[in-house]
Amino acid sequence: MILKDKVIIVTGGSGLIGKAILEDICKKGGLAINADINVQSDLEKKVINVDITNQESIVDAINQINKYFGKIDGLVNNAYPRTKDWGAKFEDISFTSWQENVDIQMNSTFYFCQQALAVMTNQSFGSIVNIGSIYGVVGNDFTLYEDYGGTSPAAYAAIKGGIINLTRYLASYYGPHNIRINCVSPGGILDEKNQHPSFISKYNRKVPMRRMGSPDDIAPAVSFMLSDEAKYITGQNLIVDGGWTTI
């Protein structure tokens, strides 16, 4: 019960990884709040409707949660909105699309952090976990996509790399306030409905553990970073990738 009675917001809690994070927090005694655009607000049931691309929606959600629970112990920036042309090849990305994805992914993470940190500073405690990616750390292996003409979005690498270094900045800035900010960076997560069989096969052959990750591989790492068991860990990027970045 390492998260007993901790009030923790998880953005995008209705998604693939988000659901696992919510479940793991609850399993470990925490009060996990699903902050998602696809839910109806009911704080008694620990759900709140929030559009992370809208500043007023973020402020309102933070204020409601803080008022209802009397504190905010943790925040997980997990939501992953993107434009309809997400996945276009680099030469086909419009400048407008690039700007919009940076805004709705990285800039929304900045603003959610800023608003939550105002509450945490007043409390003199708190922990934030930003979800990064291996492709915010290392370059892309484009051989994974050759058989079917796919690609990995350029904005994804830029945004996740930016979030990882923003995490380091915030950890340094808010350390004196007894607030910790860390990243968890997943490797490839199996999603057979949305992944080409060739991609899965090639990924499995390359990664040292010979399989793609699952959401329940990632969630315990997030819970650990939120917990007091990580009370002297801040500014770190915990990579959970089956060994992908070691080779």
pLDDT of residue 236: 98
Domain of residue 32: give its range: 7-246
152 — phi, psi (to 5°)?
-110, 130
Strand ranges for the chain from DSSP E: 7-11, 31-36, 47-49, 74-77, 126-131, 179-186, 237-240
pLDDT of residue 60: 98
d(CA 212, CA 80): 20
User: Could you tell me what percent of the chain has a pLDDT over 70?
Assistant: 100
Question: Could you tell me if residue 151 is inside a domain?
Answer: yes
Question: Could you tell me if residue 191 is inside a domain?
Answer: yes
Total tally of structural domains belonging to the chain = 1
Question: Could you tell me if residue 185 is inside a domain?
Answer: yes
pLDDT of residue 96: 98
Strand ranges for 187-235 from DSSP E: none
Question: Could you tell me if residue 238 is inside a domain?
Answer: yes
Instruction: Write down the catalytic residue from 156, 169, 173, 203.
Output: 156
Question: Could you tell me if residue 2 is inside a domain?
Answer: no
Question: Could you tell me if residue 208 is inside a domain?
Answer: yes
d(CA 151, CA 145): 6
Residues 6+ apart with CB under 8 A from 146: none
156 annotated active-site: yes
Q: Is 204 exposed, middle or buried (0-12, 13-18, 19+ CB in 10 A)?
A: middle
Distances in Å between the alpha carbon of 131 and those of 64, 80, 142, 225? Answer: 24, 9, 22, 12
Question: Could you tell me if residue 1 is inside a domain?
Answer: no
Q: Which residues of the chain register pLDDT less than 70?
A: none
CATH classification of the domain holding 144: 3.40.50.720
pLDDT of residue 88: 95
d(CA 47, CA 50): 10
| pTM exceeds 0.95 | yes
